[in-house]
């Protein structure tokens, strides 16, 4: 079984800060998710503030859960993908420290934005926003900080005196870093060519459309890298040859690479550009995820008697692949715009989160931290995965009965039993998932700060 090598004190300290930022992002994302879910749950939404409350909570939740959490954790993977063999220079410490500080500041400001006057939600796809200078500036800080962190694997080894400890995992993270650069270039080109006032849904929808699509390539590459890592930890060897894995990872980046050229041939509002990005994502993600995920599941089944099913590596891996496949199947069944669409992407993004959670347990020893095996750690991925299935199933069921997306409260039109059952099941799934998230957060924070986090808050998780 492989394990992360112990990092130097400087690298470990930076990693600890980034992992703390990522975990706190989950905490606040779940808080805002509870607000948003409550605003859609029968018998609950009647007690909440007006309709704007749902949209502000939803915008903040989406940014925390599928933008900041994903990108900050990918930044963490980049920071540890090569192990520094000697102390970083002053300039290197300043560069990386600045990137980490900017990313953490962006996360903090987005959490606080709704309480500091940012109360004008614009429900753009991929990156919805609160139309306020503070919120927009926070996104800029985040993207800059993540850019710095994702550049770390590309530093020359002779200048950092570092070594790549796991070639396939590190290669996937490098591809994610390059793809992130493509996404940022798309945002820049869209901003350059856009016309109009930046305070309307069409403006932000067009601005974030292209780069938002490419960010899904980044998330997929990071998830696949974690699948490879967890499969190696669970199966004791790679599920496919190194050449095949690198070729599949490269294919994701290569499908994202042409994206900026769309802006040189079409306007950001042209139908050809919009359809072009949809085409890239439809055909660019499946050719890598299907064979990697399929082979891993087959080998887990084939070697099931030799797999440690009490390990969070194995349970997180299997739950992540299963939820990703479920979300993909639902995506293929979408026939109109309703809550089937969020059912699809909640399955997919839930899979990314589960892969990151499993990888976190492997990262902690590299940061010099210890987590204890327990029954709750075994159940944590199952709770998150099972809750995700219930959540997605409820949304899909409600969608088959015509419940619209991006609405809450009475506007959902829950006027028949099918709609009520679907949205109630969604609420139950969210609650089950919350228990799994609380267990994960408790384990990680207790491991990172054993002298600070009270034992009584985590004794259920850490009890042997």
Can you tell me the distance from the alpha carbon of 438 to that of 118, in angstroms, rounded to the nearest whole number?
28
Contact 217, 292 (CB under 8 A): no
Degrees (nearest 5) of the Cα angle 76, 81, 87?
90
The b/e string for 352-375 (b: 16+ C-beta within 10 A; e otherwise) is bbbbbbbbbbbbbbbbebebeebe
Q: What's the helix, strand, coil split of the chain in %, to 5?
A: 75, 0, 25
Phi, psi (5° rounding) for residue 131? -75, 85
Alpha-carbon radius of gyration of the chain: 21
Contact 343, 397 (CB under 8 A): no
pLDDT, tens digit only, all 464 positions of the chain:
455 667 778 888 999 999 999 999 999 998 888 777 776 666 665 555 555 778 888 899 999 999 999 999 999 999 988 877 777 777 778 888 999 999 999 999 999 998 888 889 999 989 999 999 999 999 999 999 999 999 998 876 545 566 776 889 999 999 999 999 999 999 999 999 998 778 889 999 999 999 999 999 999 999 999 999 999 999 988 889 999 999 999 999 999 999 999 999 999 889 999 999 999 998 999 999 999 999 999 999 999 999 998 899 999 999 999 999 999 999 888 877 788 888 898 999 999 999 999 999 988 988 888 877 777 788 899 999 999 999 999 999 888 887 776 665 555 666 678 788 888 898 899 889 999 999 999 999 989 998 765 544 444 444 43
Element at 83 (helix H, strand E): strand 82-84
Phi, psi (5° rounding) for residue 403? -70, 125
Looking at residue 244, its pLDDT comes to 96
Can you tell me the distance from the alpha carbon of 249 to that of 288, in angstroms, rounded to the nearest whole number?
7
Degrees (nearest 5) of the Cα angle 82, 83, 87?
130
Contact 41, 424 (CB under 8 A): yes
Query: Half-sphere exposure of 439 toward its Cβ, with a 13 Å CA cutoff?
Result: 28
């Amino acid at each position: 079984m492989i394990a992360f090598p112990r990092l130097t004190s400087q690298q470990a300290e930076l990693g600890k800060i980034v992992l703390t930022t990522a975990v706190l992002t989950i905490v606040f994302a779940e808080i805002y998710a509870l607000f948003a879910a409550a605003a859609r749950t029968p018998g609950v939404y009647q007690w909440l503030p007006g309709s704007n409350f749902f949209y502000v909570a939803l915008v903040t939740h989406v940014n925390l859960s599928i933008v900041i959490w994903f990108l900050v954790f990918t930044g963490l993977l980049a920071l540890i993908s090569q192990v520094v063999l000697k102390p970083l220079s002053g300039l290197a410490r300043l560069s990386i420290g600045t990137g980490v500080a900017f990313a953490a500041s962006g996360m903090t400001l987005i959490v606080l934005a709704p309480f500091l006057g940012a109360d004008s939600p614009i429900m753009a796809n991929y990156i919805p926003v609160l139309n306020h200078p503070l919120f927009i500036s926070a996104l800029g800080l985040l993207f800059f900080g993540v850019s710095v962190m994702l550049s770390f694997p590309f530093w020359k080894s002779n200048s950092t005196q570092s070594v790549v400890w796991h070639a396939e995992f590190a290669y996937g993270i490098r591809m994610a870093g390059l793809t992130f650069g493509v996404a940022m270039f798309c945002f820049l080109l869209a901003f350059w060519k856009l016309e109009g006032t930046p305070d309307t849904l069409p403006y932000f929808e067009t601005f974030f459309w292209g780069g938002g699509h490419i960010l899904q390539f980044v998330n997929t590459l990071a998830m696949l890298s974690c699948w490879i890592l967890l499969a190696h930890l669970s199966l004791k060897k790679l599920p496919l040859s190194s050449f095949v894995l690198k070729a599949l990872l490269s294919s994701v980046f290569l499908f994202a690479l042409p994206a900026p050229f769309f802006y040189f041939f079409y306007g950001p509002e042209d139908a050809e550009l919009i359809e072009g990005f949809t085409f890239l994502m439809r055909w660019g993600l499946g050719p890598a995820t299907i064979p990697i995920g399929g082979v891993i599941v087959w080998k887990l089944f084939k070697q099931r008697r030799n797999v440690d099913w009490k390990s969070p590596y194995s349970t997180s891996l299997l739950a992540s692949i299963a939820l990703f496949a479920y979300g993909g199947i639902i995506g293929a069944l979408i026939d109109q715009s309703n809550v089937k669409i969020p059912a699809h992407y909640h399955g997919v993004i839930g899979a990314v989160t589960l892969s990151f959670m499993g990888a976190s347990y492997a990262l902690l020893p590299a940061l010099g931290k210890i987590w204890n095996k327990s029954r709750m750690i075994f159940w944590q991925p199952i709770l998150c995965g099972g809750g995700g299935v219930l959540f997605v199933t409820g949304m899909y069921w409600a969608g088959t009965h015509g419940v619209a997306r991006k609405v809450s409260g009475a506007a959902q039109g829950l006027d028949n039993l099918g709609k009520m059952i679907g949205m109630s099941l969604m609420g139950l799934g969210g609650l089950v998932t919350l228990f799994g998230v609380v267990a994960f957060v408790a384990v990680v924070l207790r491991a990172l700060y054993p002298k600070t986090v009270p034992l009584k808050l985590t004794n259920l998780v850490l009890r042997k």
